[in-house]
Amino acid sequence: MKILAVDTATSSLSVAVMDAGSLCTEITRSTGETHARHLMTLVDTALGLSGMSVTDLDAFAVTIGPGTFTGLRIGLSSIQGMATATSKPIAGINSLDALAAQAAPATRTPGSLVCAMLDARRQEVYGGLFRTGDQTSVPVSEPIVARPASLVDEIREPCLMVGSGALLYQNLLREKLADCFLMAAPIAHTIRGETVARLAMAAFGNNTVPANRILQPLYLRKSDAEINAAQKEVNG
């Protein structure tokens, strides 16, 4: 299977092309610039370096959230458009699942606890808990938006923290978890297109991909604009 995978859920942007389970090309940027400026250029570059065109692809994959509202819209609309235009299937991947999958190899022990955490601003994080399996991680809680201390309040065992939220609040988390606090390797905190592609391949193998190519973003809460508008109404 030839697959193009994209992540636009956070401030980083990653595009990967895989063929038969092997990585052909991966490009990851983290400059803070809007993804709309670079996504399609990186897609074209990744395909070119892989010796492919869009019509050579068998499938697409994209992160559906949680993450930034603008970033998710850019990724979803672009990749869904390409999938529809080429009549190829598309898989939506939870961004927390991707982070947990990247952290899992570092634990080495199946059943270890992983907490994936993305900065959600407003002193909150998007987060979820996972147990490592033989190949990847399995969620043991629903993704939520919460204060970082609240997310880890019930943890009583060693837990590997991963993601931009873990980096931002690492001092608080270290104090909260004490000896249970473990931090993933630096490379694991940025969602990689290759990870999205591999999770998508598993989804295709399990037949859990929507046939209508319509993916719904996982926002978890209202946008900052909606929250600010609601506060203005309350304040008169």
- SS3 assignment for 148-180: HHHHCCCCCCCEEEECHHHHHCHHHHHHHHHHH
pLDDT in the model for residue 88: 95
Write down how long the chain is. 236
Domain ranges of the chain: 2-95+190-231, 96-189
Write down the pLDDT at residue 209. 87
**Continuous segment of H or E residues that includes residue 77:** helix 69-86
**Hey, which CATH number is domain 2-95+190-231, 3.30.420.40, 3.40.50.1370, 3.40.50.300, 3.30.230.30?**
3.30.420.40
CATH topology of domain 96-189: Nucleotidyltransferase; domain 5 (3.30.420)
- Residue 225 identity (one-letter amino acid): A
pLDDT in tens, the chain (236 residues): 999 999 999 999 999 999 999 999 999 999 878 899 999 999 999 999 999 999 999 999 999 999 999 999 999 999 999 999 999 999 999 999 999 999 877 666 778 999 999 999 999 999 999 998 776 789 999 999 999 999 999 999 999 999 999 999 999 999 999 999 999 999 999 999 999 999 999 999 888 888 788 899 999 986 555 555 545 655 55
Closest CA to 143 of 210, 98, 194: 98
